[in-house]
Amino acid sequence: MQFERLNAPHVRSTASVPRIMLQVLLALVPAAIAHVWYFGPGFLFNLIIATGFCVASESAMMAARGRPPEDALSDYSAIVTAALIAFALPSLTPWWVTAIASTFGIVVAKHLYGGIGFNVFNPAMAGYVVVLVAFPADLNLWVAPRMGDTDYTTLSLVETLTFTLTGGLPDALTYDAVSRATPLDLMKSGLNQMQTVEEIRALPTMGDFGGRGWEWIGNFLALGGIWLMIKRVIRWQIPLGVLAGLLVPATIAFMIDPGSNPGPGYHLFSGATILCAFFVATDPVSAATSTRGRIVYGIGIGFLIYAIRKWGAYADGAAFGVLLMNMAVPAIDAITRPRIVGHGGASRE
Amino acid sequence: MSAPTFDLGKLHGGMRLEARKSQSTTQGIRDVPIPKQLIIPLKQHVGDEAQPVISIGERVLKGQLLAEHYGSLGAPVHASSSGKVIAIEPSPVTRRYGDKAPCIIIETDGEDQAIEAWEDPVDYRELDPSSLMQKILQGGIVGLGGAVFPTAQKLMQATSGEIEMLILNGVECEPYISCDDMLMRESAASIISGARILMHAMSIEQCLLGVESDKPEAIRALEDALSTYDDDRVVLKQIPTIYPSGGEDQLIQLLTNREVPTGGLPSDVGCLVQNVGTAAAVHDWIVDGQPLLSRITTISGDGVLNPINVRARLGTPIADLVEAAGGYTDRAEVLIIGGPMTGKSISTDEVPVVKATNCVLVLSEAPSRERELPCIRCGECAEVCPVNLLPQQLYWHACADNEDKLREFGLVDCIECGCCDLVCPSHIPLTYDFRMAKARIRELEDEKARAERARRRFEAREQRLKLEERERAEELQRQKDRARKTGKAAIAEILKRKRKKDD
């Protein structure tokens, strides 16, 4: 009898990249629902546009590189990038802003570096930062969270869609009537105007810990993140590193001067903290790779978020923190290489 | 020397694999009938091929020496049943490289007649260690865990006094394989006896017997045997059921918390590891006078009807073993010698059982080879690596063929256990890639050595030529000098003669 010859091991991995990406997407679903609940349907439009442009630019780049597009599309990583961009953008974002972020992320940050596995920078954050720097005004249109403000005009589904497609509001409305400064913006400007944290926290868009609405999205993101940890899609080192890097200095500053430093709970449940800790910083391709390296990488991002929120010109610092630490990854990997068994260390007594 | 401590060490990474062993342990070990033909390879061990001492056409008896070991490393080979030698020729074997190797082919007569001159059993305790080692060598005994390193020559490391501890490996961590488990259940006393003989041969007083905690029957049998012998030098240790805890270096680490240094041997940390099957074979030879003629082999997998452990004569075709396990199922597709993690897939079942054949695994379907995707650096491979390597980095450097980096990241320390393959979401055949990279580095080293030899030869030649040239120049000078001297004298002579004539 004749048999086929194969290479060991003769058991195959059940894990797969598409499966990992789908699990990440699934983990984002509760937070996406919360996002729509609090900030209206804009999120969905952004998600659709981001997905369309991510998928289209991935296909175009694969074709340009002479490879079958389905090779890249079948791992769903472009959709994860699109979802993260949608989470990063305000619910009212003109389509071209979303399109530029998506296209830049996929074309420049991902494929010009060689595609998945070779990209130095997280594509979603690279795309987001480009539009953040290029269109600062367009990224300010966060509508007020539901139940956050009484004298506030809610946009209808059609009005939101019209804005997304044209970048214009119905004639009767002004930007001021529909948008509100984000809690992080309020905190930054308030503190600059010598208000106390106490005063700022009393504003209607503020919630129990962070911003109203944002803190609930944060809860659902954390839920999804913990599920990913249980499923071993992500490991604990990076999320915990990010949270520790942010919350430890925040707690120390809060204890020294609670009047001008918001507490750790506020930092945790505001802005992109939880999204970054569980979904962005944990992107394995652009993160450090050893166990110790990941802790260092996470702490670095967390601390950069704190530093930018506290001293920087931007209200939040997650995207910059991630990109800056992406640059440090080769150095972190080189320094934190684990000791190979049998090399130095334990020896005969 | 201070008494060594036995801290139970921890292994980095590793995996809990589905054991799949119970299917082959429901029945006791069964004998395989004598095959029509025995195919006995001359090399069933690490080292040199054994040299035939019989001739074609000769009738041989069970236990008779067929091929003798010469040289520094190797082992003799014996006839596992009686019959007529019909050929000594290359025949398919289960080797990694090259598919045919010289074998002695015996047509059996079914009488299974043993040689009478099996040596009278002697009490090994009356033998001094070196003659005991010599005797073990004659029994054709090699490591039966699969590495088939000649046992006697391994024991000789003890003569340098470096070894303080014998470790018996009863771990058997790969899925499906249960031959050691069954041996421990059925012949625990032989194993303990073998351990005592091995300790005597090395003049040491310590033996740790490591068994995975998922083998309660084996552990009970060993405990019973230990209490019978009442020998407190042998200590039974249960170790956690984690693949690959049965690797030589991994077992040492688990049992003694010592790490075998890179490129080193277990003797560097005072240990010598033998498989439990080897210990039992030593007992059979030294106490009962029976050389290594058979071994226990697991026949398992969903490609055979009735998974089982058999005691098979060395040289029995694998097909006969499968027959003993009820034959193939309709769906049998892959034939593997060894376990699913590190075993070798072979193309034909006409190859013989050799001293290394611990398992014949028949699977009903080839593991689906999904498309290889780019590495996403998820790091799962590093989490499971028992040697604490960074397989994803090694893979990167292997793709780039960066020899220096491969060395720096410890390619040589890779034990090819296959764990990284098993967790890779991109389905990269890491173990295979690392094997290839190792082979390339070996090739490069050989090439370097060859170039170095060529360079030395060239330089030597240059020097020789220079020397010859100098010698030639000196010789020429000498001739000139001589010519000048003799020339002057000759002229004077001629002038003298001329003057004489003129006078």
For position B6, what pLDDT does the model report?
45
Side chain identity at residue A114, one-letter code: G
Chain centroid, CA B137 distance in Å: 16
Could you say which residues from 172 to 211 on chain B have a Cβ atom under 8 Å away from some Cβ of chain A? Answer: 175
Q: Are A182 and A142 in contact (CB under 8 A)?
A: yes
CATH level 3 topology of B22-32+120-324: Rossmann fold (3.40.50)
Nearest-angstrom CA–CA distance, B329 and A74 = 36
Could you say which residues from 249 to 288 on chain A have a Cβ atom under 8 Å away from some Cβ of chain B? Answer: 284-285, 287
Q: Are A339 and A332 in contact (CB under 8 A)?
A: no
Instruction: Give the least confident one: A6-20, A83-97, A329-343.
Output: A6-20
Percent with pLDDT over 70 in chain A: 95
> Where do we find the tokens 């300010």?
A140
**pLDDT tens per residue across span A154-188:** 778 888 888 888 887 777 777 776 777 777 877 88
Tell me if residue A152 falls in helix, strand or coil. coil
Strand partners, B170: B211
Examine residue A9 and say whether the peptide bond preceding it is cis (omega within 30 degrees of 0): yes
Is residue A4 in a domain? no
**Residue contact A346–B423, C-beta within 8 A:** no
Side chain identity at residue B474, one-letter code: E
Examine residue B244 and say whether the peptide bond preceding it is cis (omega within 30 degrees of 0): yes
**pLDDT tens per residue across span A216-250:** 888 999 999 999 999 999 999 999 999 999 999 99
Contact pairs from chain A to chain B, CB under 8 Å: 180
Q: How far is the CA of B307 from the CAs of B27, B148, B335, in angstroms?
A: 9, 25, 14
Task: Say how many CA atoms lie within 13 Å of A97 toward its Cβ.
Answer: 29
Those residues with Cβ within 8 angstroms of residue B179's Cβ, 6 or more apart along the chain or in another chain? B172, B277, B295, B296, B297, B298, B309, B358, B359
- Count the Cβ atoms, other than its own, within 10 Å of residue B122: 14
Cα–Cα nearest to B108, from B83, B136, B133, B143:
B83
pLDDT mean across residues, chain B: 89
Q: State the DSSP H helix or E strand holding residue B337, giving kind and residue range, or none if neither.
A: strand B334-337
**Residue contact B376–A4, C-beta within 8 A:** no
Confidence label for A140 from pLDDT (cuts 50, 70 and 90): confident
For position B41, what pLDDT does the model report?
93
Measured N-to-C along each axis, helices A318-335 and A291-311 cross at an angle, to the nearest 10 degrees, of: 150
DSSP strand pairing (B83-92 vs B100-108): antiparallel
Is residue A187 in a domain? yes
Burial class (CB in 10 A: 0-12, 13-18, 19+), B292: buried
| Tally of structural domains, chain A | 1
For position A153, what pLDDT does the model report?
66
Strand partners, B51: B68
Nearest-angstrom CA–CA distance, A326 and B178 = 48
Q: What is the mean pLDDT of residues A28-37?
A: 94
Helices (H), B306-367: 318-324
At residue A23, does pLDDT exceed 50?
yes
Cα–Cα nearest to B75, from B298, B310, B356, B316:
B356
- Count the Cβ atoms, other than its own, within 10 Å of residue A14: 9
- Residue A322: domain span: 17-335
The two tokens of residue A347 are 């020896």
* Residues of chain B positioned with their CB less than 8 A from the CB of A17: 373, 376, 425-426
Domain boundaries, chain B: 22-32+120-324, 375-503
Could you say which residues from 147 to 176 on chain B have a Cβ atom under 8 Å away from some Cβ of chain A? Answer: 175
**pTM (predicted TM-score):** 0.83
For position B5, what pLDDT does the model report?
42
* Residues of chain A positioned with their CB less than 8 A from the CB of B340: 8-11
Q: What is the mean pLDDT of residues A83-94?
A: 92
Is residue A296 in a domain? yes
Q: Which residue among B5, B12, B409 places its CB closest to the CB of A341?
A: B12
User: Angle at the Cα of A162 (from A159 to A166), degrees rounded to 5?
Assistant: 140
The listed range with the strongest mean pLDDT (A102-106, B18-22, B63-67) is A102-106
At residue B84, does pLDDT exceed 80?
yes
Q: What ipTM was predicted for this assembly? A: 0.86
Classify each residue of B174-204 as buried b or exposed e, where b means 16 or more C-beta atoms within 10 Å of its C-beta.
Answer: bbbbbbbbbbbbbbbbbbbbbbbbbbbbbeb
Side chain identity at residue B109, one-letter code: D
Q: State the DSSP H helix or E strand holding residue A98, giving kind and residue range, or none if neither.
A: helix A95-103
